[in-house]
Amino acid sequence: MVKVIVRAFSISLDGYGAGPEQSLENPLGVGGRGLHEWLFPTRTFQRILGKDAGTSGVDDEFAARSFENVGAWILGRNMFGPIRGPWPDEHWKGWWGDNPPYHVPVFVLTHHARPPLQMEGGTTFHFVTDGIQSALERARAAANGKDVRVGGGVATLQQFFRAGLIDECHIAISPVLLGAGEPLFADMNLVALGYRCTQHVCSPAATHVVLTRQG
């Protein structure tokens, strides 16, 4: 069965999944980089950068698990780039260079149509203008029996949570305070939506929590 999953999504101690004032210079918002300090040193992340070094242990285990059995991704437009409104041209091709780390089809939620964008390494970005249900149907078909990973950002995760579409979610709570930004669980009753905590593990750099939807 194809599961819809969230993996390695980082939030601050005060619940923010991104800092304020996101921009080209600060794609994660002011202070947002601190959310992911648990991830950057891991062997999994360093291999994405083409390096052989990196740490093992709890953080790396969760980082490695985040890529297991993923057949397609769904991203909000902010996760693809900082451009708002109609696409001025097709110059922007994402934050990650010519070979993004996905290596599977990626479905980007947007209000503005754009032709599919084929990148190196097996990643193709498809731009979906008719909502999360359409994106999920297309992602499930493209995943070829594997899981669909919803990568964010915050607004996209909230839509999927409220629709009861997330089967399992791994949150990494980083020991930082942002004070402002995009709160992940604001005005959302996870208990009423059927979620409960099924795993929690601490490392020196983060508290890893897995939420699973029951029923």
Stated pTM of the model? 0.94
pLDDT per residue over 155-197, tens digit each? Answer: 999 999 999 999 999 999 999 999 999 999 999 999 999 999 9
In order of 51, 64, 186, the CA distances from 16 in angstroms are: 30, 23, 9
Give me the mean pLDDT over the 129-142 stretch: 97
| 172 in Cβ contact with 17 (< 8 Å) | no
Q: Which domains does the chain have, with CATH numbers?
A: 4-15+30-77+148-213 (3.40.430.10)
When computed from its CA atoms, the radius of gyration of the chain, rounded to whole angstroms, is 17
Q: What is the pLDDT of residue 66?
A: 97
The answer, yes or no, to whether residue 119 has pLDDT greater than 80, is yes
Structure tokens at 108: 């980007």
Higher per-residue pLDDT: 24 or 73:
73
